[in-house]
Amino acid sequence: MSSMPPARFEAEPRGGAATLGKAVKVVGQIFSREDLYVDGEVEGTVEALEHKLTIGPNGTVRATVKAREVVALGTVQGNVEATEKIEIRKDAKLTGDIRTARIIIEDGAYFKGSIDIVKPEPAKGAPKAQAAVPVGQAAPVSAPASANSPEIKR
């Protein structure tokens, strides 16, 4: 009998983001209500409207992408709408049209397509100041963690 302890799989921490690993391929629609890290392959559409989408160095996304923030380290083919900002990192390859408020392109990144800078409009009717949460009091959690997982439609 081996004295070695049983191997345990531990996902690489991605700052709390849901992860599609590099051996995973998804064809269809992804709607995410939390940050999403794609290191595998996606074909279709990806929406993480209030969240950050990261395409890892092994990731290939052939999809229309909408997110609050997009960080590309791998390959993206398709139009990208990032309401806050998009980062195209060194060695990333992005082919498609971009609409965003802010763009960061590192030297060595490849980009082919158009860039539309859309300045975000201030929210109408938004309260001028939010009620402060007293120190030491945690904000209430409105939904269980599982409800925030990405939803995949095929």
Partner 1 sequence: MFEPLKGFFRGSRGGQPGGNPPAYSPSGARLPANGRGSGEPTHSTRPSRGLEEFFVHIRDTTGLTILDLGGATQKNVSFITDLGHRLYSEDFLRILHEAFGPDDAADQTNSGRIEYFLKQTLDYPQGHFDGVLVWDVLEYLNPVLLGAVVERLQYIVRPKAYMLAFFHSDDKLEEVPSYTFRIEQLNTLEIIQQGMRRPAQLYNNRSLEKLFGRFESVKFFLTRERLREVIIKV
Given the rule CB under 8 A, which residues bind partner 1? Answer: 88, 103-107, 109-117
CB of 69 to partner 1, least distance (A): 17
Between 22 and 102, CB nearer to partner 1:
102
149 Cβ contact partners less than 8 Å away, ≥ 6 residues apart: 18, 33, 34
Q: Cα dist. 48→77, 81, 128, 133 in Å? A: 17, 10, 26, 27
Q: What angle do CA 153, 13, 109 make, to 5 degrees?
A: 75
CB of 139 to partner 1, least distance (A): 37
Between 60 and 100, CB nearer to partner 1:
100
Residue 53, burial from CB neighbour count under 10 angstroms (0-12, 13-18, 19+): buried
Between 29 and 95, CB nearer to partner 1:
95
**What is the Cα–Cα distance from 61 to 132, expressed in whole angstroms?**
40
CB of 36 to partner 1, least distance (A): 24
Residue with tokens 């409105």: 142
Between 107 and 121, CB nearer to partner 1:
107
